A and B are shown apart, each in its own frame.
Chain A
Amino acid sequence: EVVLTQSPGTLSLSPGERGTLSCRASQSVSSSYLAWYQQKPGQAPRLLIFGASSRATDIPDRFSGSGSGTDFTLTISRLEPEDFAVYYCQQYDRSPWTFGQGTKVEIK
């Protein structure tokens, strides 16, 4: 099983700041099969990034993904008030598909 470890657990930032979230895999993951999701309280997750770096439909360009192999990053260039949420990475390269434990981005 591919274990995904996200860091930090919580990221305290102010609106307008840059956020950098990390996702490290226990074994190599094909870049084509790494996704990032955003989840707000009481809502279902929303796909942000697929294939490690491709934005999903209607996702603002302040969200970007990068990385390969075992190290992946989600960057939010300038945090907007609506971006404060929990973010999960997921690999869908091989079964069982797995999620990271999440990074909470909170208002500082």
Chain B
Amino acid sequence: EVQLVESGGGLVKPGGSLRLSCAASGFTFSNFGMNWVRQAPGKGLEWLSSISSRSNDIYYADSVKGRITISRDNAKNSLYLQMDSLRAEDTAVYYCARVFHGLDYWGQGTLVTVSA
């Protein structure tokens, strides 16, 4: 069974940093691209970043470019999102998702709250 489990969310002050993790199981992680998507409270889905299976292709949304870094460790079956210079508007549930004909599997999400 494919499983994606995010962790690392929590309360952080404006200007702070956070590193999210996504642990993958039930499939050959190194064969699939991965994405991060977020959803602010009561709002729609916002695509953030994509990384190819071997990390040679990486893309970011303009809204977060320069403040986030996506990475992966295929040996550990893990995806990461480093977020810096956090702002109140970054408050959201952050999802990792597997790339296969769109985003075919999603984690349950981890909540990031940016507040003083």
Structural contact, A35 and B44, CB atoms closer than 8 A: no
Jot down 29 A-B pairs with beta carbons below 8 A, ordered by A: A35-B103, A39-B45, A44-B95, A44-B106, A44-B107, A44-B108, A45-B95, A45-B103, A45-B106, A46-B106, A47-B101, A50-B102, A50-B104, A56-B102, A56-B104, A86-B44, A90-B45, A90-B47, A90-B102, A90-B103, A92-B99, A96-B59, A97-B59, A98-B47, A99-B44, A99-B46, A99-B47, A100-B44, A101-B44
Q: With the chains together, A56 CA to B102 CA distance in Å?
A: 10
Query: B residues engaging A (CB < 8 A)?
Result: 35, 37, 44-47, 50, 59-62, 95, 99, 101-104, 106-109
Contacts of A97 in B (CB 8 A): 35, 47, 50, 59
Structural contact, B101 and A96, CB atoms closer than 8 A: no
Contacts of B47 in A (CB 8 A): 90, 96-99
Q: How many residues of A contact B (CB 8 A)?
A: 25
Closest CB pairs A-B (n = 8): A35-B102, A50-B101, A44-B106, A95-B59, A50-B102, A99-B45, A97-B47, A102-B44
In the assembled complex, A54 has its CB within 8 A of some CB on chain B: yes
How distant is A86 from chain B, measured CB to nearest CB, in Å?
8
